[in-house]
Amino acid sequence: MDISRFNALDSNDAAAVLRPCADIDRWVEAILDARPFASVDGLLACAQAAANPFTEAEIDAALAHHPRIGERAVGSSDEAALSRGEQSGLDLDEQIAAALESGNRAYEERFARVFLIRAAGRGSEEILAELRRRLGNDPASELAEVGKQLRAIALLRLAAVFNRVPAR
């Protein structure tokens, strides 16, 4: 996608570009309302500002779209394809798959939501270590952590849509 084309799209089509990055109405509308953008950097800055912070309700709504770590997204939606790409660095041998599965279960019991992490560029060992570390967080700091991860995923996806490779 190129920025002048994005500026010219009608609202529905422009929203359809944004929703696979984070399906959060307020975030999508904030970006649509700020058009036209002079540059991709301007768009990314706006997207970052509107994502900071996401509310708890927004986080919970968006999490419904993220498969568990270690579970390949099924289907042909843009979102599923993005998720498969992000999780492609995971080496899911039997032992790691089992460890992720029990870690996901423990996390969901403790925090009542899916464990979320920006998976792109990360391997299974790093993700597993983060999962175990975050199990020790208190609920408020963990909520802030989830918001941060959701923001990172949304911004990476958006940058990819506009052919940017952002710094991590």
Of 43, 116, 131, 159, the residue at the interface with ligand 2AL (CB under 6 A) is: 116
Of 119, 154, 155, 159, the residue at the interface with ligand 2AL (CB under 6 A) is: 119
Contacting ligand 2AL within 75-94 (CB under 6 A): 83, 86-87
C-alpha distance from residue 11 to each of 15, 46, 61, 146 (Å): 6, 17, 21, 29
Residues contacting residue 151 through CB under 8 Å, at least 6 positions apart: 48, 51, 52, 54
For residue 153 the two structure tokens come to 């995923």
Helices (DSSP H) in the chain: which residue ranges?
Answer: 3-8, 11-18, 25-33, 40-50, 56-63, 78-86, 94-111, 124-134, 139-161
Site string for ligand 2AL, 39-78 (x = CB under 6 A): ---------------------------xxxx---------
Max Cα-Cα span within the chain: 50
Residue 118 interacts with ligand 2AL (CB under 6 A)?
A: yes
CB of 66 to ligand 2AL, least distance (A): 4
Residue 159 interacts with ligand 2AL (CB under 6 A)?
A: no
Among all chains, which residue has been given the structure tokens 């708890």?
56
Binding piece for ligand 2AL, criterion CB under 6 A, among 5-13, 44-52, 88-96, 108-116 = 108-116
CB of 108 to ligand 2AL, least distance (A): 11
Give 35 or 113: the residue with its C-beta nearer to ligand 2AL. Answer: 113
Q: State the Rg of the chain over Cα.
A: 16
Give 14 or 117: the residue with its C-beta nearer to ligand 2AL. Answer: 117
154, exposed or middle or buried, with CB in 10 Å at 0-12, 13-18, 19+? buried
Footprint of ligand 2AL (CB under 6 A): 66-69, 83, 86-87, 114-120, 153
